[in-house]
Chain A
Amino acid sequence: MAMSIEELKAAILNKALTAPKPQLYVKDFYKCDPESKPRVIKNAANDLVKEGKLSFWSSGSTTMYAACARVKNEEGEKGVN
């Protein structure tokens, strides 16, 4: 059975905090719950951004996700880019 939205968000956040690289594609989150539809997972990840737990990183062409705790923006002391 597919995870509840809260379980899914917890799994996504955990993955973002523990993955070797801080920046992840939305597809990297699909594995958090193979039962959930890609669009449900995308919406859960976007919710985490609204809550200030994840942030978007965009090259202009592609968007990636990172846990806020693991990245600083360009204006921070040390950028991740």
Chain B
Amino acid sequence: MAKHDTPMLDELEKGPWPSFVTDIKRQAETKPECWDILGQLELSFRDKITHWKHGGIVGVFGYGGGIVGRYSDVPKQFPGVEHFHTIRINQPASKYYSTENLRKICALWEKYGSGMTNMHGSTGDMIMLGCRTEALEPFFYELTHDIGQDLGGSGSNLRTPANCLGQSRCEWSCYDTEEACHHLTMHYQDEIHRPAFPYKFKFKFSGCPNDCVAAIARSDFAVIGTWRDDIRMDQAAVKEYIAGNYPSNGGAHADRDWGKFDIKKEVIDLCPTNCMWMEGGELKIDNSECTRCMHCINVMPRALRPGAHQGATICVGAKAPILDGAQFATMIIPFIEVSADNEFENVIEVIENIWDWWMEVGKNRERVGETMQRVGLPTFIKVMGLEPLPQHVREPRSNPYVFWNEEEVPGGFDRNVDEFRARHAA
């Protein structure tokens, strides 16, 4: 495989920022098939159309996911990318690696693939970019047997679950996100490795409302840590912040002088629910109005922290599709205990409730968030066996009618629509 003329791609090497073109050229020194990536991309720029063929039957035996087939539609011109499949590897919880493990994976990928990686994909997996069909099985064998790692999800599978680093590093985590993610990953191995649904389904776990894995935007089922009781406060530390003795935001903005810390301007006035005030030199919070946005806690971490009665909020139905617009997940369960003591039984119950309904009612290629939108939130809440709560209400009603079901009215009522229609045509 020879170097190709790539004048347009070479433009992307100019400027002070990193360039994927430079990276791929460097890789091509040892992996000559990488010249063909650049050659084909240059051709695509020229033709203004992709030369990748999308999808296929490729995979490893026994699995129906984890490998995304990619082929060149001009393989004669670019034999190095005739097959260029993507392999997803399930990342460890919180993406903790040893350098030893990373070296092994990279060496394995140099042996069987292009050596190019994307760390990490949006789902969370390590993405190995580009290998031939015949290399899939040997790569998979060594990955699972010698390194002890496994493929992630793709297609209509449960996608590789992901989590924030939670209690392993972060004092704000309201439950053990790593344990929850790991437990559910192991519990649902069949759903991760084989297609299980009308379309993809993702779980993500964040330990607090800062939501460092962006669960609310990127997952069908977001488990976001929260607390029920009051924000814990240390008034002495509040005074230290006011006096300028503690750096705000843990010193995160210390690269510039922002002037003296002003608790009114930087905390109280920015509280989205206006539920904070100073009284007699003390900071006060009306916790019944607090929406757990984390702002005040982020600014004054030594003075404020999440309450002690901890659990999570469950939001359902985020998606980021190309058509039809993106949407955040909708709050469904304001508070649920999340505990390894019962093996996350109550969370699993909610998940399977959703799956049973969505598999039945969801259309082909319809994310659960779209199914919810189609049937409406009141119906979804009923399906979930929940009582409507004030937190489910987003805006004042726009429909003036009130509908009652028979079972909602004491004594019920009998109504034979057919008999009525026999006398009054519709």
Contacts and interface: CB of A to CB of B under 8 A. Distances in A.
Nearest to A65: B195
Main secondary structure of the interface of B (DSSP, over half): loop
Contact of A74 (B57, B199, B360): B57
A74 B196 CA distance: 24
Interface in B63-113: 64-65, 68-69, 71, 83, 86
Interface string B125-146: 0000000010000000000000
A79 B54 CA distance: 12
Interface string B358-374: 01100111000000000
B69 A58 contact: yes
B58 interface: yes
A4 interface: no
Contacts of B360: 38
A61 B198 contact: no
Contacts, number: 95
Contacts of A55: 57
Interface in B318-369: 355-356, 359-360, 363-365
B195 A42 contact: yes
A3 B357 CA distance: 21
B58 A60 contact: no
Given A50-B62, A62-B156, A73 B359 contact: no
Q: How large is the interface on B (under 10, 10 to 19, 20 to 34, 35 or more residues)?
A: 20 to 34
A38 to B, nearest CB: 4
A75 B133 contact: yes
Interface string B154-180: 111100000000000000000000000
B12 to A, nearest CB: 25
A26 B56 contact: no
Interface in A14-56: 25-27, 37-39, 42, 46, 49-50, 55-56
Contact of B364 (A25, A42, A46, A81): A25
B59 A56 contact: yes
Closest 9 CB pairs of A and B: A63-B155, A38-B359, A63-B195, A59-B55, A58-B155, A63-B156, A60-B68, A73-B57, A56-B64
Given A42-B195, A58-B55, A59-B55, 16 more contacts: A26-B197, A27-B363, A39-B196, A49-B64, A55-B57, A57-B55, A58-B65, A58-B68, A60-B68, A60-B69, A60-B86, A62-B364, A63-B156, A75-B133, A81-B53, A81-B54
